[in-house]
């Protein structure tokens, strides 16, 4: 049995066991990912959690995720959607065949690392720890803000550019907020019918994988390479609507809003430890 077919966190020195419906689960790896923080889970070590899970109204996804940690390995029964794919192979090439099962499969989380492409180069370009985002984008934001300010002064001859510059950057932040909401509302959270393989591939690549492997820290943020392509496209489109004197400042504001939202989102997912 391969590593991806079973619970991979069952070492002797990494155990935190709970019981649920006559089965034992080692949830050690999940402790720091629990939404309420590790201290909410600690009192239930070596205890049956059936009643607490029902009491706190856990979702269907939570019960599905629990199967990942079953002692002796995940049972591949008829209800296990993971039998539909091979976790030892790149996933993007497989999701299209799921058809109408895709929508249910993609919102049924697992605690594993996911390989997206067979190509090592493409795979490398899609793996992005969250801290890479500020490392890459902050220097670009500063550069655009400085160049944009100089360009604004050069074009407008404004001797007091502070307020217009701040307003233009703020305009970019608002613009990004609207774009981000629209993407999440109508693109990222759409439900492919299952009839179009292309739509399944597209949905999984841009957002679906975040639902499937929510604890894969390498895939929590949108990779810089495709983000740069999208940013360039937005840059070209916005040049049609914003004047030349403030365009770069608006783009700087948009990138600032994007980077800030990613950092805040990741910080908000850090479990709260009560002492």
Q: What pLDDT digit, counting tens, does each position of 62-98 carry?
A: 999 999 999 988 887 767 899 999 999 999 999 999 9
**Quick check: is 57 in a domain?**
yes
The CATH number of whichever domain residue 25 belongs to comes to 3.10.120.10
The predicted pLDDT at position 274 comes to 42
Is the predicted pLDDT of residue 4 greater than 70, yes or no? no
Same domain, 254 and 163: yes
Same domain, 149 and 251: yes
**Quick check: is 250 in a domain?**
yes
The predicted pLDDT at position 6 comes to 41
Q: Considering Cα of 69, then 70, then 76, then 77, what sign does the dihedral take?
A: negative
The predicted pLDDT at position 244 comes to 96
Same domain, 53 and 174: no
150 or 186, which is more confident: 150
**Quick check: is 116 in a domain?**
no
Among 75, 107, 131, residue at a domain's last position: 75
Same domain, 145 and 228: yes
Question: In terms of residue numbers, what domain contains 236?
Answer: 123-268
- pTM equals 0.84
Same domain, 56 and 129: no
Domain tally, the chain = 2
Same domain, 141 and 238: yes
**Mean pLDDT in the chain?**
90
Same domain, 70 and 129: no
The predicted pLDDT at position 78 comes to 66
Task: Kindly state the percentage of the chain with pLDDT values over 90.
Answer: 75
The predicted pLDDT at position 57 comes to 94
Same domain, 7 and 130: no
Q: How far apart are CA 115 and CA 124, in angstroms?
A: 10
The predicted pLDDT at position 76 comes to 74
The predicted pLDDT at position 269 comes to 63
The predicted pLDDT at position 266 comes to 78
Same domain, 127 and 71: no
Task: Kindly state the percentage of the chain with pLDDT values over 70.
Answer: 92
The predicted pLDDT at position 189 comes to 85
**Quick check: is 114 in a domain?**
no
**Quick check: is 102 in a domain?**
no
**Could you tell me the CA-to-CA distances from 17 to 27, 55, 68, 80, 121 in Å, in that order?**
6, 20, 13, 22, 39
Is the predicted pLDDT of residue 261 greater than 80, yes or no? yes
Mean pLDDT of 112-122: 97
Mean pLDDT of 38-67: 95
Give the DSSP letter string of the chain.
--GGGS-S---TTS--EEEETTEEEE-GGGGGG-TT-HHHHGGGTTSB-HHHHHHTT--HHHHHHHGGGBTT-----TT-GGGGS-TTS-SHHHHGGGGGGHHHHHTS---S-----SSHHHHHHH---TTHHHHHHHHHHHHHHHHHHHHHHHHH--S--HHHHHHHHHHHHHHHHHHHHHHIIIIIT----SS-HHHHHHHIIIIIHHHHSTT-GGGSS--HHHHHHHHHHHHHHHTTTS-TTTHHHHHHHHHHHHHHHHHHHHHHTSPP---
Same domain, 60 and 185: no
Same domain, 60 and 143: no
**Quick check: is 46 in a domain?**
yes
Same domain, 160 and 255: yes
The predicted pLDDT at position 60 comes to 95
């Amino acid at each position: 049995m391969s590593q991806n077919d079973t619970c991979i966190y069952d070492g002797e020195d990494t155990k935190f066991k709970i019981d649920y419906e006559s089965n034992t689960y080692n949830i050690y790896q999940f402790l720091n990912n629990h939404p309420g923080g590790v201290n909410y889970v600690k009192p239930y070590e070596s205890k049956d959690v059936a009643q607490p899970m029902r009491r706190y109204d856990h979702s269907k996804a939570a019960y599905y995720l629990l199967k990942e940690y079953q002692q002796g390995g995940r049972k591949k029964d008829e209800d296990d959607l993971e039998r539909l794919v091979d976790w030892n192979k790149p996933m993007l090439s497989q999701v299209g065949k799921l058809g109408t099962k895709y929508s249910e499969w993609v919102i049924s989380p697992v605690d594993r690392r996911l390989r997206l492409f067979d190509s090592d180069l493409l795979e490398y370009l899609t793996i992005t720890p969250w801290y890479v985002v500020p490392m890459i984008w902050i220097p670009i934001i500063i550069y655009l803000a400085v160049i944009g300010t100089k360009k604004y002064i050069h074009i407008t001859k404004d001797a007091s550019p502070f307020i217009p510059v701040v307003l233009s950057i703020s305009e970019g932040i608002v613009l990004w907020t609207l774009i981000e909401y629209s993407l999440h509302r109508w693109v990222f959270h759409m439900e492919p019918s299952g009839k179009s393989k292309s739509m399944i591939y597209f949905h999984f690549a841009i957002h679906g994988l975040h639902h499937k492997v929510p604890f894969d820290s390498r895939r929590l943020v949108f990779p810089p390479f495709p983000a740069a392509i999208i940013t360039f496209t937005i840059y070209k489109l916005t040049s049609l609507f914003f004047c030349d004197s403030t365009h770069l400042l608006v783009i700087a504001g948009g990138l600032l809003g994007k980077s800030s939202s990613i950092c805040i989102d990741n910080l908000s997912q850090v479990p709260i430890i009560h002492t």
